[in-house]
Structure 1
Amino acid sequence: MRIYRERFEPSDQLQRPYVIAGVNVIAAESDEEARMGLESRRRSLVGALFGSSENPLGDAQIEALLQGPQGHQVDQMLTYTAHGRPAAVRTYLRAFQQHADADELMVAHHAGSVAGRLRSIQLLGMAVLDDIPLNAVPLVEALG
């Protein structure tokens, strides 16, 4: 990021450097629920990457792959994942934003269901409400 920021040349579209960093989020009511959500995400990634719709992987196959190089690959994909209760997720995201030298974070919620993803979004929203700039309040209100 340092090189990008140092060598940035303004254009009509962007007058100054701007960095958006992506990060996975699994926010939950409890640490155990978040841990289970992370494990579920690991398992679903193994199934998606190494199985097929015609030949889905069974639990034993997924477990075996998680213990091998494929599991390492999945874990690398989840390197930047905030998971836990809302306060822990907030702390992680603040540290990640500094680490990435990012102006903005783009979060991807990975609960196992739509309801779980919506709850993760809600928990994160409540956790970071104090971090939202005052000039963004109309946008937050518009989003309901």
Structure 2
Amino acid sequence: MDQEQLSPIPFSVLDLAVVAEGKTPADAFAQSLDLAREAEKLGYKRFWMAEHHNMEHVASSATSVLLSYIAGGTTSIRVGSGGIMLPNHTPLIVAEQFGTLATLYPGRIDLGLGRAPGTDQTTALAIRRERFHAADSFPEDIRELQSFLSDDNSEARVRAFPGEGTNIPIFLLGSSTFSALLAADYGLPYAFASHFAPREFLRAVRLYRENFKPSEYLQTPYVMSCINVIAAPTDEEAEFLSSSMKLMFRGIVTGLRRPLQPPVKNIDDIWTEMEREAVYQMLAVSFIGGPESLRSGIQSFREQTGVDEVIVSSNIYDHQDRLRSYRLFAEVMKSFAGTT
């Protein structure tokens, strides 16, 4: 398939308000808003933020609060969660919070839902307490949440105000076949965490498409893939900048997490061969390079997967380099046929 035969697809942003070395959460929040405003100008469709807890250098724990900050500082880009970890909350609370967002910013709010805790098990216990096994009721909780957000709940004894009637678009997030089959059964769009857990990606997407049931929310399957992108004017500079992301994932592998580090010239002087292997397995769905390399890589990825949308995570130390990466990626995505 020639590049010119590929139709344009939406492209979006996933942000975690990662704190870089020498910076504070306040700096991360300001940079997130600056990125959202730039993404809006560049034609990105969505700006999503993810719920994490007890991670000193990831500042997106109060996700719905941050989303209000982002939505209030932008005008047109869709803003949402990628995602809210539903077992950490009751469906009513999520309906009220996102109903408030949808009331403040009508037509712009997305609600991505995940089943994982977004943290370690000890912290999950502190969050959920007696609801520690709430993940077991994830399918039922989604249905309850949908009911709270619909017009059909007006006669119920428990209602979400605001929230009722907002019908906020819900996306199911996951990194396994469980979430793929649930999204298919419920007729919901499916967003796969291929930026850090790519092993089941192709199988999960295939099962989702094969088992999809049309619903009032969605008539045909819709697959979003989260991908890592480090873009720069040259392949060599992009590889250099990518060392910050690789060091961050090394921290995940070793459990020795640090703020996002400045890039290094030779990362092989820092990590072991085993750490390198583990990191590269996690980063299998990553696109690192200059514009031509990115274009070629994205073309092959789209031909292989047929994804309907990509959502981009770019962990780059310097904020201006990060903004430039998103600009270069937007240019690549717009270069496909039919995009102006």
| Pairs within 5 Å for 1:39-58 | 39-47=243-251, 49=253, 50-52=255-257
1:69 Cα deviation (Å)? 2.6
| Pairs within 5 Å for 1:1-144 | 1-47=205-251, 49=253, 50-52=255-257, 66-131=271-336, 133=338
CA offset digits 1:53-78 (Å, max 9, x no partner): 6xxxxx9xx86772243322211111
SS in 2 for 1:21: strand
The whole-number CA distance in structure 2 between the counterparts of 1:52 and 1:35 is 21
The whole-number CA distance in structure 2 between the counterparts of 1:108 and 1:121 is 9
User: Which blocks of at least 5 consecutive residues in structure 2 are unaligned?
Assistant: 1-204, 259-263
**Is the 8 Å Cα contact of residues 222 and 308 (structure 2) preserved in structure 1?**
yes
The whole-number CA distance in structure 2 between the counterparts of 1:67 and 1:28 is 27
Figure out how many residues of one structure are paired with residues of the other and give that number: 128
1:33 Cα deviation (Å)? 0.5
TM-score, normalised on structure 2? Answer: 0.34
**Is the 8 Å Cα contact of residues 97 and 105 (structure 1) preserved in structure 2?**
no
TM-score, normalised on structure 1? Answer: 0.75
The whole-number CA distance in structure 1 between the counterparts of 2:337 and 2:330 is 10
Higher relative contact order (CA 8 A, sep 6+): 1
Mark the CA change 1:66 to 1:100 in structure 2 (over 3 Å): closer, same or farther. farther
**Is the 8 Å Cα contact of residues 232 and 289 (structure 2) preserved in structure 1?**
yes
Mark the CA change 1:44 to 1:2 in structure 2 (over 3 Å): closer, same or farther. closer
Higher helix content, 1 or 2? 1
Runs of 4+ in 1 over 3 A off after TM superposition: 62-65
CA offset digits 1:5-49 (Å, max 9, x no partner): 222100111111111111110110111101111223212322355
SS in 1 for 2:312: strand
